[in-house]
């Protein structure tokens, strides 16, 4: 019996350490066999470019999920912030002010959500679901439901290159590095893990849990705003109906990357690999001309399996802690 438990625990530890990388390698091999075009330079750049917007969202959403919360509003907030950024450019013809407006709107939305959640103890699911509808409605109101065209030089952000590398990929890489530094090298980053791991213990240690949660939502909102201006500039138009489903892709990337739904565990490297897996799946399904209806089913199955694996691989360690506590009492 003990031998089986040890083997199960070793498999669990092996999965948590290398499983995500093994899955990524397997996905690359399978995709290249299914369609030789997959490994072409143009397609690889396309895969990473498509990942950029989702990954920028995931960078911010990861802090929220590590704290044990969730955000369902990024898709709608992306549309609102991106459209306001485009409107700012049309008015001022300043790329910098357009980016600032988009990021500022996203951060403001994050501040509002974080404040209500922390001050009124509202469930994150309810608040972010409400904000999803509010943001979508505001995007349609501000634009009168019409696209914002003639964004001129702003399109460079989503379509331009620095050398051979598309600018969205560079923005994504910068975001990943900054989030890695913040999560691993700062007090705030360490406190998010503490809050997600055990909120009561974090409070007992003197951590201002409400402030950590509030800051997490502000960072989340700011990066959603940044992703909004990147996406709108890429499609060369401010579209108030854009962004639908992006929150789902971001959450999928985070969970597949190993971040726990209950909080307290996760890494930006894992999220990046998870995002690559999701992007590869989307790409190969498109190359194989699979219907978008089936793609939604497949994505749903992926996130369900990822959560099941997360729960099952944590079960042995939870049982071990229970046995240890019962032994101490005895």
**Average model confidence (pLDDT) across the chain:** 84
What are 272-306's pLDDT values in tens digits?
988 888 888 888 888 888 888 888 888 788 777 77
pLDDT digit string (tens) for the chain, length 330 residues: 455 554 555 655 666 666 778 888 888 888 888 888 888 888 888 888 889 999 999 998 999 999 889 889 999 999 999 999 999 999 998 999 999 999 999 999 999 999 999 999 888 889 999 999 999 999 999 888 888 888 888 889 988 899 889 999 999 999 999 999 998 888 998 999 988 888 888 888 888 989 999 999 999 999 999 999 999 999 888 889 888 888 888 888 888 888 877 777 788 888 898 888 888 888 888 888 888 888 888 878 877 777 776 666 654 444 344 334 334 443
Put residue 239 in one of left, alpha, beta given phi > 0 → left and psi -120 to 50 → alpha.
beta
Please give the C-alpha separations between residue 96 and each of 20, 93, 104, in angstroms, as whole numbers: 37, 9, 12
Instruction: Measure the CA–CA gap between 310 and 258, rounded to whole angstroms.
Output: 7
Q: What is the Cα–Cα distance from 221 to 217, expressed in whole angstroms?
A: 6
Interval 93-133: pLDDT, tens = 899 999 999 999 999 999 999 999 999 988 888 999 999 99
Pair 217, 111: CB distance under 8 Å: yes
Instruction: Please name the residues in contact with 99: beta carbons below 8 A apart, sequence gap of 6 or more.
Output: 85, 157, 226, 229
Domain boundaries, the chain: 52-243
Residue reference for tokens 């331009």? 160
């Amino acid at each position: 019996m003990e031998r089986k438990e040890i083997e199960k625990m070793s498999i669990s530890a092996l999965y948590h350490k290398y499983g995500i990388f093994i899955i990524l390698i397997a996905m690359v091999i399978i995709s290249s066999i299914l369609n030789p075009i997959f490994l072409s330079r143009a397609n690889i750049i396309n895969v990473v470019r498509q990942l950029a917007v989702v990954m920028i969202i995931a960078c911010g959403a990861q802090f929220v999920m590590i704290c044990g919360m969730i955000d369902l509003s990024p898709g709608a907030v992306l549309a609102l912030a991106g459209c306001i950024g485009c409107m700012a450019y049309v008015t001022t013809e300043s790329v910098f002010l357009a980016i600032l407006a988009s990021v500022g709107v996203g951060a403001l939305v994050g501040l509002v959500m974080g404040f209500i959640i922390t001050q009124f103890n509202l469930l994150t699911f309810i608040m972010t679901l409400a904000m999803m509808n509010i943001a979508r409605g505001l995007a349609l109101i501000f634009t009168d439901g019409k696209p914002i065209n003639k964004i001129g030089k702003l399109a460079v952000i989503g379509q331009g290159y620095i050398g051979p590398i598309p600018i969205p990929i560079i923005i994504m890489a910068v975001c990943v590095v900054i989030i890695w530094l913040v999560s691993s090298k700062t007090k705030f980053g360490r406190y998010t893990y503490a809050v997600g791991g055990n909120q009561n213990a974090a409070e007992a240690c003197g951590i201002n849990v409400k402030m950590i949660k509030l800051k997490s939502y502000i960072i989340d909102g700011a990066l959603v705003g940044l992703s909004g201006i990147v996406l709108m500039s890429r499609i060369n138009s401010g579209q108030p109906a854009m962004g639908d489903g992006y929150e789902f892709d971001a959450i999928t990337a985070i969970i597949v990357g190993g971040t726990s739904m209950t909080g307290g565990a996760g890494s930006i490297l894992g999220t990046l690999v998870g995002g690559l897996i999701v992007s590869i799946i989307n790409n190969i399904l498109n190359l194989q001309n699979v219907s978008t209806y089936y793609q939604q089913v497949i994505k749903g199955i992926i996130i369900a399996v990822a959560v099941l694996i997360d729960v099952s691989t944590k079960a042995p360690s939870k049982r071990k802690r229970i046995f240890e506590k019962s032994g101490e009492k005895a």
